[in-house]
A and B are shown apart, each in its own frame.
Chain A
């Protein structure tokens, strides 16, 4: 079980969190003209790297903040965690 450092609460066990997927995806702006391909890429295409990956986790049984976790998907090493609005 992972030990995730919530930037708001400190180290907490994985079972307090929900996985939230790729954190490198940016939602297109509202009312933006956008091609089908670009939109589809945003909705459906996700990287699934073996190795370092920036991902969202939701501290769902804690402070309810979405956070960013810089994690190695193969070794489960967590390099750093960030608040949702922090640029990485």
Chain B
């Protein structure tokens, strides 16, 4: 299709590069530098979608982020993005886009029947209608509404694109590269400040690209180009296009999304699609500009009705005519600029000005160009369904209440200008108050809450001369505060046309007998009548009116609709706009993709993965890994076709019979040093620590202040003032913070230092009856006999040339040792132990066998120390000192904790000795009792006892100490199991602990 609406000698697009793309499966051509919108308009396409509620035809309304209509489903690189603004998305070769919210297609849309039923769809329709009958909601109403509602469809595939996060610090962040942004950034950068200049569009310059002004004896556009190229060469400046600063957060933290590759057919390897910048700025200059306001009249949502500034932008930037018979409807001078631009391109327009007798340079120029102007005239209604074909116009009385005789004039587009609304979103997000500026009928930022300054039209300053002067001054003074420098740049002279003031008129009254829809919010289909209805129904607060009617709640967040909504509410309520106030501006200013927010922290990068130095050996030997906190630990080592169950049984059995080797590097290790270490440990642990001799280890339990067990582990006295503490893998970080809290805040007088040494040591546990034989071979020079190295003993040795620490401690309940060497010797140690251990039938064992071994020994671990149990519950009351005070001791006196039937750790065996009891099962007296069946306890850990070859579980059971020998039921409603069980001692194997001492 030919580009019938493309102009020849105007625009910033690259005509040398033709680009083909598809819209609704049809092929079109555009140029490099086009947006989907400009290329479609060039091809005469104005129907791009259907509206949200009534499914009315939708065209283009703006030319940028404010676009309420033209949102499309984008297809790129085998992926799809929903709700992409066609006015922002740049063309690339092979781009495909489709209309949204229409079925079967945009030209014939079944949902459009809503438009004819619209008397049934007033504000709050859904709230009122689907209240009754109540049972219909989930099954009937909601699914239908969900299907009918919404715009684009999110992809359900995994997003393969790369998104990145970046942190940046600067002196001054400037948000927008229009005249005020350029001037501030330039002045600040020249004064030595570190500046970031962010522009949401691909091209820098903002309004200077389209306005007819002169700065420093060159056109505004040339001046902008010159400033930008100079800024780009400065080492203290970062200049970013396609970058939207969308959120202003606490302490001058702003977040910006940079569309790095969205304008390319596909993302290059290692280049992100989008990049999220977290910018901490000392000062922020908000130069976000302003957005033209619509005028409200009948059927003002018809495709072809658009902002006059957008029409001008399509001509000047893209060389595209939005129509060949334009009607311009304005209440200020901006519409005249668009008329002049049309005229320059050979198109005659008709201007309707609601003002009676305005006078200004621009108007004189338009008159001299012989462009037809009708003063005191308004558009009553647009005519045409899928595209404007004519307009009903009429003269309007001075009080704007009465319309004269209606006349129909032919046109193919209506360009509207209802004056300008400053973009105050960022300033308002920062917490600044806003004030209503009467001269411009809009809110501007007032008292700054954070270090931010709003300049230019974002601050309601519409004179370029004033803007440039003010922005240069601000850029200079703000940078001076930071850099203490005083390098001033000369301010260029500005030549601009003088304008006359705008008309406060914004909404055309309905002619007699006509019931046209006059839309305020174009994306959510909110019309004047909806707001009026809401007010009649008693909604008063603007926040309530917003939520009831959905005004300003669509993806465009009411960028074009908010102020007109406020004007209407204030008119109906007979208030002034500042009394009505505005709704809260919340980030993000424009939609941000979830991918950008998440960044690189997805999948396996969502948390760090920690691996022991022996990891590669495990991998080579068929280890199946399990997540243990952020660590990867071998769960079992698979031999042949073994299942988890078979492998763990084999490994556990080998520990009981021969000797096993387990990687215990992941255990938390904390070095405790200082003369008061013993006193500190004595306060941290429940048991006594003052008399632990050098070369001895002790098991300890630590509580929180509320008496709940926090962690357990062994601590070894390495030398006079040096202790080596171990924690569970999961609690290591919390325990360190806990110790630091008490040392720094509660008992700063204690001379103790703690530091994590988890990663400094690789640990290997050798467990089993033959472990001493093995140890003798590993340390031939040492006396490791039962006398030389008794249970809970500690010694240091030479492990084939490496320094080693040898602890005689046991988690498996067998005779066992733990050898620590410096981390980088871990792999060597492991291989060596495996090699030397061959003659004793050594086998590595994983966490599954480790669990089996500790469960049948009745040793508690994380599943019992679950943040809900006290020492008594875990049968650890023997470790609670009665003599000394320690953290959490006073809480143990609580009556619930000392109740005679307090819960306690027990063992559980199924009566049939066959059925495994699922972890988490409930213990009850009567399996068939009426629900809720009183719960006596729960199964915390289960294993297959290798000692007795039957299932065995640990449980925390009410009155556990008096329940041994009782018969109960273990219920697992999840797995639909009712298992008759007997309660036994938690020490199922070697209850006297002979093996560890042998």
Contact = CB atoms under 8 A, between A and B. Distances in A.
Interface string B880-902: 00000100001101100000000
A66 B745 contact: yes
A48 interface: no
Given A3-B252, A39-B890, A27 B737 contact: no
B891 A66 contact: no
B748 interface: yes
B540 interface: no
Given A30-B683, A34-B890, A60-B737, A66 B744 contact: yes
B746 A43 contact: no
Interface string A7-26: 00000010000101000000
B251 interface: yes
Given A66-B741, A76-B251, A43 B891 contact: yes
Contacts of B278: 1
B744 A85 contact: yes
B644 interface: no
Nearest to A34: B890
Contacts of B746: 27
Interface residues of A, number: 27
Contacts of A76: 250-251
Interface residues of B, number: 24
B341 to A, nearest CB: 44
Nearest to B255: A1
A42 interface: yes
B705 interface: yes
Given A3-B252, A27-B746, A58 B737 contact: yes
Interface in B739-772: 740-741, 744-746, 748
Nearest to A64: B740
Contacts of B706: 43-44
Contacts of B740: 58, 64-66
Nearest to B707: A43
A13 B280 contact: yes
A43 B617 CA distance: 47
B705 A42 contact: yes
B748 A85 contact: yes
Q: Of residues B251, B705, B891, which shows the largest number of chain A Cβ atoms within 10 Å of its Cβ?
A: B251
A2 interface: yes
A31 B744 contact: no
Given A1-B251, A43-B706, A75-B431, A65 B891 contact: no
B249 interface: yes
Interface string A48-72: 0000000010101000111000000
Interface string B705-744: 1100000000000000000000000000000010011001
A39 to B, nearest CB: 5
A28 B893 CA distance: 16
B250 A58 contact: no
A18 B748 contact: no
Contact of B253 (A1, A27, A75): A1
Interface of A: 1-3, 13, 18, 20, 27-28, 30-31, 34, 36, 39, 42-44, 56, 58, 60, 64-66, 75-76, 78, 84-85
7 nearest CB pairs, A to B: A3-B251, A30-B885, A84-B744, A76-B250, A31-B885, A66-B744, A1-B253
21 contacts: A1-B249, A1-B251, A1-B278, A2-B250, A3-B280, A20-B741, A27-B705, A28-B890, A34-B890, A36-B893, A36-B894, A42-B705, A43-B706, A56-B741, A64-B740, A66-B745, A76-B250, A84-B744, A84-B745, A85-B744, A85-B748
